[in-house]
Amino acid sequence: MKYVYVLVSGDTDFFYEQCYLSLASLRIYNPTAEVILLVDTETKAGLSGRRSGCEKLASSIITVSSPNGLTRKETSRFIKTSMRRYIEGNFLYIDCDTVICGSLDCDFPENIIIGAIPDCHVPLREHHYYRQFVDENLRLGFDFILTCSNYYNGGIIYCKDTPESHSFFEKWHALWNICRKEGNSQDMPSFNRANYELHNMISEIGGEWNCQISNNGLPFLHRAKIIHYFATSLVYITSPLLLASEPALLAIRNTGDIPSWLYQKLHDAKSAFEPRSRIIADKDVLELLDGSIFSMLRRLKKGHKSLFNTLESMAYRLISLLKKTKF
């Protein structure tokens, strides 16, 4: 089986550093694996100097032409949704924001054409973003979402080389282009819509292949093959994984290589967590964390600290008063 990454990156983002880290971790446990890196023309031109590490770790690099006028994010999704065209044989697609934790050598069951894991490891109706996903899909005219059981994450995708899988990717790519023109360049709505239109071609594979560590991934961590450290709702929240921290990624950017302290952590990624991190299972607390009030407060703390501090002080005094009145 081949392993495929898509990299579209410039000097102002961390996608290159994330990809380099993921490739390095893959090579620790899979030194002879065939790894293919799909890039756009602009990214390929920039893979030199301190950004040459990925090229050394990949078995081959394929440069894919994309239409003019796309943003980097759109270019990344353009390549991702059409990658079946450029790869011969079965492959496992891996997002850049991942760390490989073991051997990826596996023969998936013959009946699996496309394999993926439900987003956040839960059925759609139990997802904390259920309402947002429904609204997003209905705006695109995708009413399948109302009867959808699993909403699959596109971070790790197994793809068998069959006519059916080629049809799936052509459908996915066409639907993604429709979504993009409607102002939505995310790949999950079109990915799941393609699955619906092709009569549920996606098969669920084990959560250890896409351990979404910040969202219900804990039961899969001990046997995780791949840790996916940024999940759907955490793109603006610090990952609990030290390997994903800004200091780690900056260290790669500034030196062009993975420092020894970071490389050591790659060998034990399942324990490389921030020292101040918590496991929360209380349903009330989880609902608060997933709610709009928490999101608003976090944005206030980040962008309007004085206002946040005032509200925090008022809340503290109110709680103290309520305690006195035994409320």
Question: What tens-digit pLDDT sequence spans the chain (327 residues)?
Answer: 999 999 999 999 999 999 999 999 999 999 999 999 999 999 999 999 999 999 999 999 999 999 999 999 999 999 999 999 999 999 999 999 999 999 999 999 999 999 999 999 999 999 999 999 999 999 999 999 999 999 999 999 999 999 999 999 999 999 999 999 999 999 999 999 999 999 999 999 999 999 999 899 999 999 999 999 986 555 456 788 999 999 999 999 999 999 999 999 999 999 999 888 888 889 899 888 888 888 888 888 889 999 999 999 998 888 888 887 766
Query: What whole-number distance in Å separates Cα of residue 245 and Cα of residue 36?
Result: 26
Angle at 122 between CA 121 and CA 124, to 5 degrees: 130
Residue ranges and CATH numbers for the domains of the chain are: 2-271 (3.90.550.10), 291-324 (no CATH)
Alpha helices in the chain (DSSP H): 15-29, 41-45, 53-57, 72-81, 130-139, 163-181, 188-197, 218-221, 246-255, 260-266, 283-290, 292-303, 305-324
pLDDT value for 38: 98
Query: What whole-number distance in Å separates Cα of residue 216 and Cα of residue 220?
Result: 9
pLDDT value for 129: 92
**Distance (Å) of CA 95 to CA 57, 129, 181, 226:** 16, 21, 24, 10
pLDDT value for 326: 67
